[in-house]
Amino acid sequence: MKFFIDTANLDQIREAEELGVLDGVTTNPSLMAKEGITGKNNILKHYVDICTITPGDVSAEVIGTTFDQMVREGEELAELHDQIVVKVPMIRDGVKALRYFSQKGIRTNCTLIFSPGQALLAAKAGATYVSPFIGRLDDISSDGLSLIAEIREIYDNYGFETQILAASVRHAMHIINCAKLGADVMTGPLSSIESLLKHPLTDIGLEKFLADYKKGNS
């Protein structure tokens, strides 16, 4: 399973990279704005800055909602750096744009996936990744993990190469369950990745080891 971090914060990306488990980055206009990054040139530069920190894929999202707008923006984003993956929304023109980019050899991430049908359309159109938002489904009392399982079954049935990128991941059990279900990638905040480190018995065991060492060397 690949680990992506969902942020525009360069310090957090560096921290995840230094941990040794980072495979890529996803970000979006909201996350850019959260870091105070505004204006087209600043946003484009920031994408390049992210690419210099991690050698993995970096999803950069288009703003336009028409086919022509998405194609124009997506081509500009793809030219920024070889690591850029163009993030396209799951809408009618977005599916058309996925096919266009696929035929041009531009990698894509279809975002805002909330149903297996949407994931099927994205794969048919040639998306490199699909991003089902499991946390947002959980927020409305729907089962986000069931969506991962359904997409995995469909893709395996037909041999689709599109990777399932479990998005809106909130905590350790989201990651563990997505891994068990066969999601190819997870993306979430640094806190969700770091939550995998934690177990009370690890803390207790380490404390005992250190205490025993201190007794024997005092």
Residues acting as catalytic residues = 87
Q: How far apart are the first and last CA of the chain?
A: 45
C-alpha distances (whole Å) from 37 to each of 30, 43, 102, 113 are: 10, 6, 29, 26
The DSSP annotation for 75-128 comes to: HHHHHH-TTEEEEEESSHHHHHHHHHHHHHT--EEEEEE-SHHHHHHHHHTT-S
**Euclidean distance between CA atoms 54 and 16, whole angstroms:** 9
| 3-state class (DSSP) for residue 184 | coil
Burial class (CB in 10 A: 0-12, 13-18, 19+), 76: middle
What b/e readout covers 31-60, taking b as 16+ CB neighbours within 10 angstroms?
Answer: bbeeeebeeeeebbebbeebbebbebbbbb
